[in-house]
Amino acid sequence: MFSFLDLLSLIDPGLILFGLVMILFGAVLPLVFLLKICPKIYRILLILLCLIEFLFIGILWIDLAGVQGTFYLQGAVAELSASLSTHRFLIVQAPLFLLPSSILILLAYKDRIQENHAKWYRVTLIAMILVSFVSTLSIACESLI
């Protein structure tokens, strides 16, 4: 029978943070498309984007601090495992750089993001968040391999 402490030792903090990132991206995607209709959403969107950025920094901190450990396998699949983990590390850099840029756009335009002169900034904001989400999904799919 497992005790509660044995159960806690099985929990991976990086996976919990990554799950929170996916949940928050699920909240951000509808809001970013509603930005033109209701510009007051930018405050909620700004808070969620900051949370996602801090969670990504936390994931990298856990990974680089070695708390999670390495998952390289021995034998024939060791090279594939090493290349996939390197590829994931390169993909995770896209949200780390795109999310602060989208935060800066929201901080600069605030509720004026729905005006006509800010159309291209709004389109850029949507594109940056979509690219960040797609790269996060690709990390999740590669982790399933």
Domain range annotation of the chain: 4-144
The 10s digit of each residue's pLDDT in 12-64 is: 788 889 999 999 999 999 999 998 898 889 999 999 999 999 999 988 888 77
The 10s digit of each residue's pLDDT in 53-84 is: 999 998 888 877 764 445 555 555 566 666 66
Q: What is the pLDDT of residue 85?
A: 66
Residues 6+ apart with CB under 8 A from 75: none
For residue 116, CA distances in Å to 72, 82, 109, 113 come to 51, 48, 12, 8
The 10s digit of each residue's pLDDT in 80-137 is: 666 666 777 788 889 999 999 999 999 999 889 889 999 999 999 999 999 999 999 9
Directed axis angle between helix 93-109 and helix 42-65, to 10°?
150
Q: What is the pLDDT of residue 6?
A: 74
Q: Can you read off the two tokens belonging to residue 94?
A: 């896209």
pTM: 0.81
Nearest-CA neighbor of 123 among 33, 27, 25, 30? 33
**Position 141 pLDDT exceeds 60:** yes
Q: Can you read off the two tokens belonging to residue 82?
A: 């090493």
